Amino acid sequence: MRLIMLGAPGSGKGTISKMLVEKYNIVQISTGDILRGAVAAGSPVGKQADAYMKRGDLVPDGVIMGIMEERLREADCAPGFILDGFPRTIPQAEALGGLLKKLSLGLDAVCNLDVPEDVIIRRLTGRRTCTNPSCQAIYNLDGKAPKKEGVCDRCGGALAQRDDEKEDVVRARLKTYVEKTEPLIGYYENEGLVLTVAGSESRLLFDQMVAKLGK
């Protein structure tokens, strides 16, 4: 099964992708995770991406396509994959189309998450991540709060807010989503691939999506 996951930042894309990975035995490819890993490692890609990410802007398409071409050629992608956070722009979608054609692969569906904006803003600005690199547990002040403020339940490490989860950057990311990424829904509707589910609870969105995928 080969899927694309579309949805605003904070819509639960990553969480629901992980559930689909387990259900269908495919791999999750998250450009956000790959980029954060590259920034942390200080690699050339990380050096190019860092400033864009801090502002909530998109990393240039050329950088992203280099990452994706390399990743999609890896052997673990053969049983299928879910693209989480990619494509993010029409040019990326067009480039992905060319790349899949070159690899003789087709897409099964584009999963679109429709989550209310107020839920998204509360979630994104309330998120806190454990700064211990070997833990990285994620909490949310709006639901899954840590027992003691600012301290990780699991390892006792300090919790921090990611730079791109401060309120002004969250608003910039949402604006970028509406302007650059939302048009992809129409783009893939023309190809008859879009499956939309609406709500806010990831578990319920996942169940609805599985029902629509029908496999």
Number of residues that bind ligand ADP (CB under 6 A): 18
56 binds ligand ADP (CB under 6 A): yes
Report the distance separating Cα 180 and Cα 161, nearest Å: 25
Among 5, 38, 53, 111, binds ligand ADP (CB under 6 A): 53
Backbone angles phi, psi at 7, to 5 degrees: 170, 155
Work out whether 113 is an interface residue with ligand ADP (CB under 6 A). Answer: no
Rounded least distance, CB 214 to ligand ADP, Å:
27
Rounded to an integer, what is the distance from CA 2 to the centroid of its chain? 15
Helices 13-24 and 202-213 meet at what angle, rounded to 10?
50
Tell me the C-alpha distance between 214 and 195, whole Å. Answer: 11
Strand order in the sheet with 138-140: 138-140, 127-130, 159-160
Q: Does 187 bind ligand ADP (CB under 6 A)?
A: no
User: In terms of CB distance, is 97 or 153 closer to ligand ADP?
Assistant: 97
CA pair distance 124, 76, nearest whole angstrom: 31
- Verify whether residue 127 is a known catalytic residue: yes
Which residue in the list 162, 166, 171, 180 is annotated as catalytic? 162
Q: Which stretch binds ligand ADP (CB under 6 A): 28-36, 103-111, 185-193, 204-212?
A: 28-36
Name which position in 85, 123, 139, 205 contacts ligand ADP (CB under 6 A): 85
Catalytic residues: 13, 88, 127, 162, 173
